[in-house]
Structure 1
Amino acid sequence: MSAADRDRRNDRAVTLGFVAVGVIAAAAAAAVPANRSVLIALAGTAWLGALLTRLVVRTPGHPALVAESVHAAHASTIDRLAMELDLAGPAVYVPTGTDVRLYVARTDGPLPDDVSDALVTDAGARGLSVAPVGAALLARLDDPRSAESTDERIRRLTEAIVDRFELAGGIDVDRDGECVTVTVTDASIEDLGRRDHPIGSVLAVGLAEHLDRPVRVRVEGDRVICSWDRPVDSNTDSS
């Protein structure tokens, strides 16, 4: 199988995954009236994620206005869900062993043991877990768990953001231990602070996969800041 054929196959699988989640959420909305508004919004989030992924991946030099409009709708849907569920915690990208989920909690506290379900309730904790756009985009890259340093992983992720997906004109990287700050110039999709912005999403998902640890994201102007906890084993090398 050629690389192009493999890419097309991955694209179809990722898009169908988003669509399937949307269909399941829509069906659940019909069956569970009490959570209908939340489940309908979840279905919309999945379908918008599928559309945004197709726009960014399949259209070189994708029309910025179209991609930005789709992302705005995607982010607004997540915002609506967070508001309905009274969730004010930061964006955390959590590896589950099989994929990475974007998790938004009520507060910034300990993470639940399982974030695989869309609506998370764990020992009194409440949160929202959705498939991030970054996971779909990174499905086209090589195995993120390959034996490379964290610095090398960051370099490859930022190169993909600029050269592969054309999401930015340039990126400057500054790493300090368990925190990396990227300064973005000429972002093709504006408002880096919107939830699950493709640039922050790609970086956070790629790091969460590589480190096998949750990655928190915050944005300050043109800077996207990703941080993660130091390994429990202090001798573990995360450089």
Structure 2
Amino acid sequence: MSSNDYETSDTHSTTTDTAESASESTDSTDQLELAAQVELLTEENHRLRQEFVQARQSRYRSTAVGLAAIGIVAALGGLLFPDTRDVLVALGATGLFGAVLTYYLMPSQFIAADVGERVYTAAMTNLASISDELGLRENRVYVPGETVPARLFVPQHAEYSIPDDRSGPIVVDDDSRGLFLEATGAELFREFERALTGEVGTEPAVIASQLTDGLVEQFELAQSADADIDVANGRATIAITGSAFGSLDRFDHPIPSFLAVGFAAGLDRPVTLEVAAGDDRADWLVTCRWSSETETEAA
């Protein structure tokens, strides 16, 4: 072998080593850049969450300040205008009391919707798997209860009756075999009742108006909710847009569950639930159906 061959071999080896070193250096640089980007995004996400919490808290503080200002002005007006003193003093006391409540009841922590959805998804995926394994049907029946607003009954057969024993969770009676579960919407409905001024309605149109307001204004689970009521046929269809918890066609989703529980509790009769994809006017259509009082008594 000539000296030129040795030189060529050495040159090739050196070139290969240099290329490998350059590749390793590039990979290391890329990893460092990715790590830096992840760290930057994490910090930015934390900053945005903090700003969101501060913005929400600022709204509560502004409301408290506004109520306090109204209370002070009304109280001073009571001193200046003796003829209307009683009314103004009462208004002032109400404003100051509302300001104190708003300030001290201001939430100190907000849970992001995506976190709540992940928790719900894990739990409901397990329940849906159990339901499938038991060979249960797609029927979802929300039954009013004595100690809870309503519970969810998932029957095994197409022809079924509402269980007499409602302790659940597994019902083994021949004509009502299935699962009898705590509904996701039950606790939401309890919270809704506590915040409601007055009683829950007993007429479908009133119930629908209250529930849709609760979804959008109180819980902020949807951007909009519009109800279409057919009292004669025992049907209420609610068009939902902008769900905060993703797809509504999953097992006992909070939004349809809350609506079905609300109708079951308000009408005091079982309600069947259907969820379908919407059209260009809404993302989802949630339909609650119930039987008339005559049909319920006959059954």
TM-score norm. by structure 2 comes to 0.55
Which position in structure 1 is the counterpart of 2:154?
Answer: 104
Q: How many residues align?
A: 178
CA distance, structure 2, for counterparts of residue 96 and residue 110 of structure 1: 18
1:81 is aligned to 130
8 A Cα contact 1:93 1:103, kept in partner: yes
1:128 Cα deviation from its structure 2 partner: 0.6
Secondary structure of the residue that 2:186 maps to in structure 1?
Answer: helix
Give the superposition deviation at 1:133: 1.3
1:134 is the counterpart of 2:185: yes
Aligned to 2:250: 194
**Per the alignment, in what secondary structure is the counterpart of residue 140 of structure 1?**
helix
- What do residues 188-209 of structure 1 show as CA deviations (whole Å, max 9, x unaligned)? 0111100111110111001111
SS in 2 for 1:76: helix
Checking the alignment, whether the CA contact within 8 Å between 1:106 and 1:126 is kept in structure 2 is: yes
Aligned runs of 1:55-204 on 2, under 5 Å?
62-99=111-148, 100-111=150-161, 112-142=163-193, 146=200, 148-177=202-231, 178-204=234-260
Provide the rounded CA distance (Å) in 2 between the counterparts of 1:153 and 1:122. 33
> Which has the higher mean CA deviation after the structures are superposed, 119-128 or 143-152?
143-152
Q: Measure, in 2, the Cα distance between the counterparts of 1:192 and 1:119.
A: 25
Question: Once superposed, which parts of structure 1, at least 4 consecutive aligned residues long, lie more than 4 Å away?
Answer: 58-61, 143-148
Cα–Cα, structure 1 residues 59 and 204, in superposed 2: closer, same or farther, change >3 Å?
farther
Q: TM-score, normalised by structure 1?
A: 0.68
Moved more, 103-112 or 166-175: 103-112
Partner secondary structure for residue 269 of structure 2: coil
Cα distance between partner residues in 1 of 2:225 and 2:274: 16
Paired residue type of 2:290:
W
Larger radius of gyration between Structure 1 and Structure 2: 2
d(CA) in 2 for partners of 1:118, 1:124: 16
SS at match of 1:74: helix
- Distance, in Å, in 1 between the alignment partners of 2:256 and 2:108 is 20
**Range with bigger deviation, 206-215 or 97-106:** 97-106
Alignment of 1:44-55 (within 5 A): none
Q: Supply the distance in 2 between the matched residues of 1:227 and 1:125 (Cα, whole angstroms).
A: 19
Q: By how many angstroms is 1:148 displaced?
A: 4.4
| Residues 170/113 of structure 1: CA separation in 2 closer, same or farther (3 Å cut) | same
Using the TM superposition, give the Cα deviation of residue 123 of structure 1 relative to its aligned residue in structure 2, in angstroms.
3.2
Alpha-carbon separation, structure 2, partners of 1:108 and 1:184: 28
Deviation per CA, 1:44-103: give whole Å up to 9, x if none: xxxxxxxxxxxxxx8986412111111211221211110221111411111133221111
User: Could you tell me how far apart the structure 2 residues matched to 1:229 and 1:59 are?
Assistant: 44
- Which ranges in structure 1 are unaligned for 5 or more consecutive residues? 1-57, 235-239
* Bigger helix fraction: 2
Q: For 1:168 and 1:61, how far apart are their aligned partners in 2?
A: 17
Amino acid at match of 2:209: R
What does 1:212-227 correspond to in 2, within 5 Å? 212-221=268-277, 222-227=284-289
Query: How much is the aligned-residue C-alpha RMSD, in angstroms?
Result: 2.4
Higher RCO, 1 vs 2 (CA within 8 Å, ≥6 residues apart):
1
Change (3 A) 1:180 1:146: closer
Shift of 1:131: 0.6
- Structure 2 contact 201–266 (Cα < 8 Å) conserved: no
- Matched to 2:156, the amino acid is R
